[in-house]
Chain A
Amino acid sequence: MTALLTIIVLVFILIAIWQMVKIFDLAQAKNESSTSGVATDKDNTINGYLMMGFLAFIYIITIVSFVKWGDLPLMSNSASEHGPTIDNLMIISMVIIFFVQTVTQFLLHYFAYKYKGEKGKKALFFADNNKLEAIWTIIPVIVLAGLIIYGLSTWINIMGVDESDDPLVVELYAQQFNWKARYGGADNTLGKANVRLIDIDRANILGLDESDPNAQDDIITTELHLPVGRPVLFKMRSQDVLHSAYMPHFRAQMNCVPGMITQFGFTPTVTTSEMRETPQMIEKIQNINNIRVEKSKKLVAKGEDALERYEFDYLLLCNKICGKSHYNMQMKIVVETQEEYDAWIAEQKEFKNSLVN
């Protein structure tokens, strides 16, 4: 039935188009060149003006997007030590991009308007100019050289993990469709592990080597707690398919690859409760909760449950397509003071005590 209706609607649209064309053609029948399918002076003029209109549209959509969604981007609320350097580079790149965008779009559309065709006019025969070519080769070279140097130094700083400042070692373990975290325990050393050692019956879910002394005090959790100000070195593993550990607030991401261990390190600088108190976050959360209240009204009207009030938490998301429930593969991250962290970790079970015999 719906299919039939859709077809009928489509047929009507086609008939409407056909009729519109006939009207256009009849209106222009007197003028031979206007029905030939080639643009006339009138077409050139109309489309020339439309080009200026389109330029305005591009500028307007840029401004509207910034006003409406400009506060969405994660650009000022980074919670890791290296975050501000990425944000800085991002802002510099954005400024360059918007400058170039504004100027080139203007030239393109303005020329399209200014030089719209007229019968009898002749274009300028201007085929080549080495000076111009040199200018717009060299300027991008200089700008890009700057960006490359800045970008590479940032990249090397982020990726080069300094093991000498005693980072907290945490394993992020991915599987369809959830995350686990493994801490090294008192020795801060992760025990050996391989998926072949997984023994579900004994609750050895991450495949730790039970004979490895380093593994005995390892702690496996479903929440990721990090002490503020201490460097963390993540070792990532996956047991089935590719996943990606994405922690947007920390400007951190690395794929989890079955068969190899990948790594990423950063230092969290803002605790969860501090982040919740920043004016920006308060505003953002307020906005989100307003949206949720509106949505809840509709849900309640339909007889469903209202949405819960949202409170901010850092998140670890899966950001590499991994199967059906990819869209719901997440883990809460809590950044807290060293004391809070110590208290929390003390409550967790060590590996040797978590096994079922």
Chain B
Amino acid sequence: MSAHADNHAHDDDHGHHHKETFVTKYIFSQDHKMIAKQYLITGTIMGVIGVLMSMMFRMQIAWPEEPNVLFEALLGKWAPDGVMDADIYLALVTIHGTIMVFFVLTAGLSGTFSNLLIPLQIGARDMASGFLNMVSYWLFFLSSVIMVISLFVEAGPAAAGWTIYPPLSALPLAQGGSGMGMTLWLVSMAIFIASSLLGSLNYVVTVINLRTKGMSMTRLPLTIWAFFVTAVIGIISFPVLLSAALLLIMDRSFGTSFFLSDIFIQGEVLHYQGGSPVLFEHLFWFLGHPEVYIVILPAMGLVSEIMASNSRKPIFGYRAMIASILAIAFLSTIVWGHHMFISGMNPFLGSVFTFTTLLIAIPSAVKAFNWITTLWKGNLQMNPAMLFSIGFVSTFITGGLTGIILGDSALDINVHDTYFVVAHFHLVMGISALYGMFAGIYHWYPRMFGRMLNKNLGYIHFWVTAVCAYGVFFPMHFIGMAGLPRRYYTNSNFPLFDDTANANVIITMFALVGGVVQIVYLYNFFASIFYGKKAVQNPWKSTTLEWTAPVEHMHGNWPGEIPHVHRWAYDYSKPGHDVDFVPQNIPLKEGEEELQH
């Protein structure tokens, strides 16, 4: 492995610590572990905003147009006398989606764990470029700040849905939120994409070049495989969203007609001619669909790792797991059209996308069965991280199965853009990815902060969240199948849907409880940084390299030489050993065979 030669160059670093100021250590840090924590905490703050928004619009749906003190306190002029305004309802839905998908589940999840785990698990001193890594975080921070600022502009934040389809998003005449709010949204996203690309390039280069001696690709933990493939998908698809955003900026500000044609609005004909909103949909979903895999693949990687460690068993079907990650990654780039079956594109294209979309169910099914088999005859340690991992598989199956309906163009006709879709994607990529993220946080918290999270709070957090998640999204399928469209400020203009009102109240109740219980987690997270019990070096008795590094963070990760790797990442309960785990840096015993994976 030529890679380890590079690492030796760093070996001189250890021993003498650089003198660090507060600013270089905590703010403009180039250390991957600090950057991971920065991503996590920024993502958490954005997550709080996103969840709070969802609780507000859920209350509006359950008790439409009723005065609410919370609205009055938080929405100000957008809730005169405490009654939510219809424009701000759409803005809340839009920004909730944007924040959760990009700022929490892309940057917060992938940014945190790729940064923390890639160098530690492959045995590298740091990322290939610490500087680019720092720039990547600060661009993310900047884009977060701009997104938050956009909430306060005069005419309101972007409100065209997180998919910002033009012409609605392009014309301030069509909607107040399409003025300054949308400009800031686009600027924020453009910066976010730059951040994401810098991060992804760094991850790919690091995984390819900086693996320690003995760390072949087939000895990598599945976490690294997932982060690596995620970064590759990001590099392929995010630039397309950037181009869509730039073209939209041009249509909005410089009078071009990429996405606009033949528009008559508010009594005047606009000059746009020859563009097509369908083109925007293609560009958007060319990122938009891979994006859901950018969100879910890292969660899958984390869950695979945590399940194996807590089952005290090798992950079942390591090679099949890698193959299915690669298959999902490949297919994810050729299924975007299933968001557009009824967009007006040629129905023949719809047939092609139905075919590719349903194919994705195959690698997904393989993964689900492999996780279940990993539990079989294990010795399951029910740590909070393990509970969230099992919860992940549960919601991934429940949410994934309804994809068979939505991916089928004929069935999509009638449930497209109804609550059925909302229920589907929240379970399969929203809740699942969030569970993956929580699992990762509970599992690697000792590695990040040197202290343990309180497990009893973790149990409360998991069980209440798990019940609420199903309580919210299971009934939602039914009101979707009843034909209730999403993004309606109130359903009271449609007596036809009056019989869905009680379901909506129940959903909102679960959502409120589920939202409030996150306070338990936030308390646990922040209090444990200071008061948590001190962690030991390898609290979960795992095999991967990050647990061979000292608890105290240090530049370069390991004092002395970087550990060499002699086996795959999943030697749990291997016959012939006294302990039920054999770390990757332990050489094979005499006569011991490494499994041919």
- The answer to whether A binds B is yes
Nearest CB on B from A301, distance (A): 14
Chain B 379-412 residues near chain A, CB threshold 8 A:
379-383, 386-387, 390, 393-394, 397-398, 401-402, 404-405, 408-411
Establish whether residues A321 and B487, one from each chain, have CB atoms under 8 Å apart when the complex forms. yes
> CB-CB contacts of A305-349 with B at 8 A, as 1s and 0s?
001001010010111111111111010000000000000000000
Within 8 A of B (CB), among A112-128: 112, 115-118, 121-128
Q: Which residue of B lies closest to A99 (CB)?
A: B401
Chain A residues near B378 (CB, 8 Å)?
A: 111, 115, 117, 123-124
Cβ-defined partner of A195 (8 Å) among B87, B166, B269, B470: B269
Contact partners of A97 in chain B: CB under 8 A: 401-402, 404-405
Query: Measured between alpha carbons, how far is A260 from B166 in the docked complex, in Å?
Result: 14
B264/A198 in contact, CB under 8 A: yes
Name B72's closest neighbour in chain A (CB-CB): A2
CA distance A116 to B490 in the complex (A): 46
Chain B residue numbers with a CB within 8 Å of A244 are 342, 416-417
The segment from B30-38, B216-224, B310-318 that touches chain A is B310-318
Chain A residues lying within 8 Å of B314, measured Cβ to Cβ, are: 125-127
* Given A101-B398, A155-B351, A195-B269, A326 and B489 contact (CB-CB distance below 8 Å): yes
Given contacts A86-B414, A111-B375, A152-B354, contact A127 B366 (CB under 8 A): no
- Within the assembled complex, what's the spacing in Å between the Cα atoms of A327 and B497? 12
The reply to whether B474 and A61 form a contact with Cβ atoms under 8 Å apart is yes
Given A112-B380, A321-B90, A324-B90, residue A248 in contact with residue B483 (CB < 8 A): yes
- B481 in contact with A86 (CB, 8 Å): no
Q: Are B264 and A240 in contact (CB under 8 A)?
A: yes
Q: Name the contact of A291 in the complex, choosing from B347, B370, B418, B499 (C-beta under 8 A).
A: B499
With A160-B347, A195-B264, A239-B264 known as contacts, the answer to whether A125 contacts B313 (CB < 8 A) is yes
Candidates B72, B265, B361, B478; contact of A69 at CB < 8 Å:
B478
Given contacts A198-B269, A327-B491, contact A259 B277 (CB under 8 A): yes
Q: What CA separation (Å) do A132 and B380 show in the bound complex?
A: 22
Write out the residue numbers on chain A whose beta carbons fall within 8 Å of the beta carbon of B455.
Answer: 37-39, 43
Q: Chain A residues near B580 (CB, 8 Å)?
A: 122-123
B191 at interface by CB-CB < 8 Å: no
Question: Which A residues from 228 to 252 make CB contacts under 8 A with B?
Answer: 236, 239-242, 244, 246, 248, 251-252
Contact between chains at A133 and B351 (CB < 8 Å): no
Q: Which residue on chain B has the smallest CB distance to residue A157?
A: B410
Task: Flag A256-274 by CB within 8 Å of B: 1 or 0 each.
Answer: 0111101000000000000
CB closest residue in chain A, given B489: A327
Could you tell me if A96 and B404 are in contact, using CB atoms closer than 8 angstroms?
A: yes
Residues in B neighbouring A236, C-beta threshold 8 A? 344
Q: Which of A104, A115, A176, A312 contacts B379 (CB 8 A)?
A: A115
For residue B483, which residues in chain A have a CB less than 8 angstroms away from its CB? Answer: 74, 246, 248, 317
* B452 and A37 form a contact (CB under 8 A): yes
Task: Kindly state whether residue B575 has any CB partner on chain A within 8 Å.
Answer: yes
CB atoms of A100 and B342 under 8 A apart: no
- Stretch from A139-147, A178-186, A217-225 at the B interface: A139-147
Bound Cα distance from A74 to B227, whole angstroms = 41
**A323 CA / B394 CA spacing, docked (Å):** 36
Q: In the bound complex, what is the Cα–Cα distance between A50 and B543 (angstroms)?
A: 28
User: Could you say which residues of chain B place their CB within 8 Å of the CB of A122?
Assistant: 312, 379, 573, 580
Please, which residue of chain A has its CB at the minimum distance from the CB of B368? A104
Instruction: Say if the beta carbon of A158 comes within 8 Å of chain B.
Output: yes
Does B501 touch A at the CB level, under 8 Å? yes
In the complex, are the beta carbons of A194 and B262 less than 8 A apart? yes
B390 contacts which chain A residues (CB < 8 A)?
Answer: 51, 108-109, 112
Q: In the complex the two chains form, what is the Cα distance from A175 to B366 in whole Å?
A: 46
A35 touches B533 (CB 8 A): yes
A257 to B358, CA, bound (A): 27
How far does the Cβ of B501 sit from chain A's closest Cβ, in whole Å?
7
In the bound complex, residues from chain B placing their C-beta under 8 Å from that of A38 are 381, 383, 452, 455, 539-540
Question: How many chain-A residues does the 8 Å CB contact rule pick out?
Answer: 131
Interface residue? A282 (CB, 8 A): no
Verify B382–A117 contact, CB threshold 8 A.
yes
B69-90 CB contacts (< 8 Å) to partner A = 69-70, 72-73, 86-87, 90
Instruction: Flag if A288 contacts B503 (CB, 8 Å).
Output: no
Q: Which of B20-28, B112-120, B167-175 contacts A (4 or more CB under 8 A)?
A: B167-175
How far is it, in angstroms, between the C-alpha of A121 and the C-alpha of B378 when the chains are bound? 9
- Inter-subunit contact B410/A317 (CB<8 Å): no
Which residues in A have their C-beta under 8 angstroms from that of B477?
65
Greatest chain B CB density within 10 A among A37, A295, A312 is at A37
By secondary structure, the A interface counts as helix
**Min distance, Cβ A224 to any Cβ of chain B, angstroms:** 16
> Is A31 close to B, CB under 8 A?
no
Q: Closest CB-CB distance, A266 to chain B, in whole Å?
A: 10
A30 interfacial contact with B, CB 8 Å: no
B358 touches A118 (CB 8 A): no
B358, A259: Cβ atoms closer than 8 Å = no
B428 within 8 A of A: no
| B355–A141 touching, CB < 8 Å | no
Q: Which of A154, A284, A307 contacts B410 (CB 8 A)?
A: A154
The residue on B at minimum CB distance from A94 is B405
> In the complex, what residue of chain A is closest to B467 when comparing beta carbons?
A57
Q: In the complex, which of the residues B167, B393, B535 contacts A108, with contact meaning CB atoms closer than 8 Å? A: B393
C-alpha spacing A14/B369, complex, angstroms: 40
A245 to B347, CA, bound (A): 17
* Contact A322 B316, CB 8 Å, known A65-B475, A115-B376: no
Q: Is the CB–CB distance between B478 and A159 below 8 Å?
A: no
Q: Which 3 A-B pairs have the closest CB atoms?
A: A259-B261, A37-B452, A73-B481
Apart from the given pairs A61-B471, A112-B382, A132-B317, 11 other A-B contacts in the complex at a CB distance below 8 Å: A2-B69, A36-B536, A37-B454, A72-B481, A73-B481, A123-B377, A124-B376, A144-B404, A155-B350, A241-B167, A292-B495
Give 28 pairs: A residue, B residue, CB < 8 Å, sorted on A. A6-B70, A44-B382, A47-B459, A51-B390, A73-B478, A75-B481, A93-B404, A100-B401, A115-B377, A115-B378, A128-B317, A128-B318, A133-B320, A140-B366, A236-B344, A239-B262, A241-B168, A248-B414, A254-B344, A257-B278, A259-B260, A292-B495, A315-B494, A320-B417, A322-B174, A324-B86, A327-B488, A330-B493
B interface residues (Cβ-Cβ under 8 A, vs A): 69-70, 72-73, 86-87, 90, 160-161, 165-168, 171, 174-176, 260-265, 267, 269, 274-278, 311-320, 342-344, 347, 350-351, 354-355, 358-359, 361-362, 365-366, 368-373, 375-383, 386-387, 390, 393-394, 397-398, 401-402, 404-405, 408-411, 413-414, 416-418, 446, 452-457, 459, 463, 466-467, 470-471, 474-475, 477-479, 481-483, 485, 487-491, 493-496, 498-503, 519-520, 523, 527, 532-533, 535-536, 539-540, 570, 572-575, 580, 595, 597
